[in-house]
Amino acid sequence: MLEKKSVFIIDDSSYTRNFLKEILIENFNIVGEAGDGVAGLKGVLAKRPDIVLLDLMLPKMNGDAVAKGIMASSPTPILLMTSLTDVEIEKSFDILETSVVDIIKKPAELDSDFSNRLINKLKIVSNIKVYKLSNFIYPSLKTNPFRNKVFTVLAIGISTGGPKVLKAILPGLSKIENLAVVIIQHIEKDFEQGLADWINSYVDKSVNLIKNNIVLDDSIYIAPFEHNIALKSSGNNIKFTLLPKNPGQINHPCIDAAYENLAKVLGKKLICLQMTGMGNDGKAGAEVAKKYKSKILVQDPETAIAESMPKSVLHIADDILTLENIEEKILKLTEKQ
């Protein structure tokens, strides 16, 4: 029998801590808890758990400072719990960039749906790589705008560890003109607009949450949680269309559906880039896209925070890339279009 992963809980509500212990005890070993940030940081450094479950808004020391303290001293996978105030959403993406592995929305009512999602996320988070905060260095990206000869679409399928990686590659990619970037990032419901706003703060293109009938142009697009995305021709334009989720669909948004639906309209004008994440969402969609002559690029699993998603597409990859190589490869592909 496999040994249970150990969890340290940091939340200022004793009711919430007791609820969390009750639902997690069957699958995890609860090694400690704290009701404020200072006690939480001390407890994590003393107990060295496999995972930290961390509330963002805490007395004495906020969750963002606790996360940075943990990652600077004893790198540990951290799952952040947060509500939906604008301040909390903004802080969530800021610390996802540097120290937190994933986010879960903490509802007003702690129910069975939250319990199931939490257990699922903790199992995923417990299996990923983390590094000391000072060890993550963004690649050196080009700064000169480049005009792509033919309009091209880059679809990025990404999950666990995504915001940190997107912050590393999007500033450079956003300088390539005539390149639309469609981001299919597994995310919690209602966090998509926060992700779009956060990305908009550091790129050169406009960033839009995908809605029905918006025109595909030289911008960055974020796939929504509630729907799958597709394209349709409309006169001289190509527009996005939103489709219902597939029966039994697990991942939101769905990378498989996005790759397949975009490839059917764009063919060789589509580049699929499979990046960090757990599971194999994107594998089936990339296999279909390959049949439509789309290019399939994969982040080197050795450089991914979570390696199973990029590994799932290696068998059909046209190229395997480190973060430092992505911009150069996209430039070369767009020059050949």
22-31 residue pLDDT tens: 999 999 999 9
Same domain, 23 and 161: no
Under 8 Å between Cβ of 126 and 31: no
277-292 residue pLDDT tens: 989 999 999 999 999 9
19-71 residue pLDDT tens: 999 999 999 999 999 999 999 999 999 999 999 999 989 999 999 899 989 98
Tell me the HSE value of 284 on the side-chain side, using a 13 A CA sphere. 9
pLDDT at 29: 96
State both tokens at 173. 């990619």
Instruction: For residue 124, tell me if it sits in a domain.
Output: yes
**Listed residues 109, 135, 161: the one ending a domain:** 135
Same domain, 179 and 236: yes
Same domain, 69 and 110: yes
Same domain, 83 and 178: no
Same domain, 152 and 290: yes
pLDDT at 90: 72
Same domain, 316 and 168: yes
Domain of 268: which CATH number? 3.40.50.180
pTM: 0.82
111 CB contacts (<8 Å, ≥6 apart)? none
Q: How far apart are the first and last CA of the chain?
A: 53
Domain of 124: which CATH number? 3.40.50.2300
Same domain, 155 and 124: no
C-alpha to C-alpha distance for 151 and 153, rounded to whole angstroms: 7
Q: How many domains does the structure of the chain reveal?
A: 2
Residue 40 belongs to what domain range?
5-135
**Listed residues 80, 111, 135: the one ending a domain:** 135
Same domain, 209 and 261: yes
Instruction: For residue 85, tell me if it sits in a domain.
Output: yes
**Listed residues 81, 116, 135: the one ending a domain:** 135
Same domain, 84 and 174: no
Helix (H) or strand (E) holding 255: helix 255-266
Residue with tokens 């050949």: 336
